[in-house]
């Protein structure tokens, strides 16, 4: 599959971020813990150069724990503050606050030496669409300060949220980059639900996902859940899933599009198991091409 999605509002959002990043002290970038490389926008990394960097591997409850731990060590080795969490759970608030304060320590010390007291830390919260930025902000602030949704494109404009008198957060729209040079990046982002599904053939996406899981030895959860016993191709697996789940059209033909929706949604929800799509050992770390 060759998936490309870069709607016009993302160009505007990137320009606004370029202006706003000048007045922030740090960039908090959310990555999907299942695919930290594919979900890491190199444009955000470029914009955040020279700023304190906090990386949140969100949705870590859906990823393989050992692989996520390896990613944390990888990002920490680069000098970033990195944690894994599920932004939907309030139990992670203290961990995130400690991480932000650790990243802000040098800034607060500089302010103190200059006689500046009680100036709030300004942090830009950034990431690709549907990675959980607004959910994280709401978790931190303890109120519904930012709009949330389970599809990309809910946040369209930048908005400042202040809480505890010590931190100001800038919620930004999810942005991608103009062109995915590696088709695998577009596929993984589509698996995660970070592109507009109107541009994606759902059946082809499900077949690609099943093939990816099989090739990478991660199909056991799907085999168990759907009771797949044979050695079918990915397309044949999807047809069998349609039969087993009662997804049938008139005449009893398997409705593979309906079955595809089930497979994709159950992968995203974790029903097929805790699956990481990438590991640090298998990735050329930090090499996404931003040319478009």
Report the C-alpha gap between 156 and 195 in whole angstroms: 15
Q: Are residues 225 and 103 in the same domain?
A: no
Domain range for 206 is: 183-269
Whether residue 2 contacts residue 181, with contact meaning beta carbons closer than 8 Å, is answered with: no
φ/ψ of 187, rounded to 5, equals: -65, -45
For the chain, the first-to-last Cα distance in angstroms comes to 18
- The full length of the chain comes to 292
CATH number of the domain to which 108 belongs? 3.40.50.300
Q: In this structure, are 136 and 262 located in the same domain?
A: no
Residue-averaged pLDDT of the chain: 88
Kindly state whether residues 157 and 68 are assigned to the same domain.
yes
User: Is 274 among the domain residues?
Assistant: no
Identify which has the larger pLDDT, 274 or 157: 274
Gap between the Cα atoms of 246 and 142, Å rounded: 43
Residue 144: pLDDT band with limits 50, 70, 90 = low
Q: Do 80 and 127 fall within a single domain? A: yes
- What is the mean pLDDT of the segment spanning 168-179? 90
pLDDT for residue 182 is more than 60: yes
**Cα dist. 49→18, 42, 116, 245 in Å?**
11, 11, 24, 49
**Three-state secondary structure call for residue 105:** helix
Tell whether 44 and 103 lie within a shared domain: yes
Residue 70 has pLDDT above 50, yes or no: yes
Number of domains in the chain: 2
- 125, 147, 179 — which closes off a domain? 179
123 and 233 housed in the same domain: no
Percent of the chain past pLDDT 70, that is, above it, reads: 89
The domain that holds 206 is classified in CATH as 1.10.1580.10
Same domain, 156 and 38: yes
Query: Distance between CA atoms of 121 and 165, rounded to whole angstroms?
Result: 9
pTM equals 0.88
Q: Say how far apart CA 209 and CA 175 lie, in whole Å.
A: 23
DSSP 119: P
pLDDT at 280 > cutoff 70: yes
The whole-angstrom separation of Cα 92 and Cα 175 is 25
Residue 35 and residue 277 in contact, taking contact as beta carbons nearer than 8 Å: yes
What is the DSSP code (8-state) at residue 84? Answer: E
8 A C-beta contact, residue 139 and residue 93: yes
How does residue 143 score in pLDDT terms, banded at 50, 70 and 90? Answer: low
Top-confidence residue, 229 or 193: 193
Q: Is the pLDDT of residue 208 over 70?
A: yes
Distance CA(172)–CA(152), nearest Å, equals 13
Q: Tokens 């505890």 map to which residue?
A: 164
Q: 3-class SS at 87? A: coil
Confidence of residue 287 (pLDDT cuts 50, 70, 90): very low
The mean per-residue pLDDT over the stretch 252-257 comes to 96
pLDDT at 99: 94
Residue 237 lies in a domain: yes
């Amino acid at each position: 599959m060759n998936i490309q999605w870069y709607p016009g509002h993302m160009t505007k959002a990137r320009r606004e971020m370029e202006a706003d990043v000048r007045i922030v002290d740090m960039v908090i970038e959310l990555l999907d813990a299942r695919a930290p490389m594919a979900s890491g926008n190199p444009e955000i990394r470029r914009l955040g150069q020279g700023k304190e960097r906090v990386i949140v591997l969100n949705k870590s409850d859906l990823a393989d724990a050992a692989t996520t731990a390896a990613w944390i060590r990888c990002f920490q080795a680069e000098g970033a503050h990195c944690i894994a969490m599920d932004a939907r759970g309030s139990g992670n608030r203290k961990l995130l606050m400690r991480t932000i304060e650790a990243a802000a320590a040098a800034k607060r010390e500089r302010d103190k030496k200059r006689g500046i007291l009680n100036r709030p830390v300004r942090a830009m919260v950034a990431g690709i669409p549907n990675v959980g930025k607004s959910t994280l902000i709401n978790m931190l602030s303890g109120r519904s300060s930012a709009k949330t949704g389970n599809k990309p494109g809910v946040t369209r404009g930048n908005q400042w949220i202040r809480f505890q008198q010590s931190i100001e957060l800038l919620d930004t729209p999810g942005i991608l980059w103009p062109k995915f040079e590696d088709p695998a990046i577009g596929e993984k982002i589509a698996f995660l639900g970070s592109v507009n599904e109107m541009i994606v053939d759902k059946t082809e996406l499900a077949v690609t996902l099943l093939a990816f899981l099989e090739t990478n030895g991660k199909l056991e959860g799907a085999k168990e859940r759907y009771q797949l016993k044979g050695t079918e191709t990915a397309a044949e697996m999807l047809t069998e899933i349609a039969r087993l789940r009662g997804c049938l059209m008139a005449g009893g033909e398997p409705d593979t599009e309906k079955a595809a929706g089930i497979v994709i949604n159950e992968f995203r929800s974790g029903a097929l198991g805790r699956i990481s799509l990438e590991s640090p050992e298998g990735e050329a770390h930090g090499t996404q091409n931003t040319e478009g």
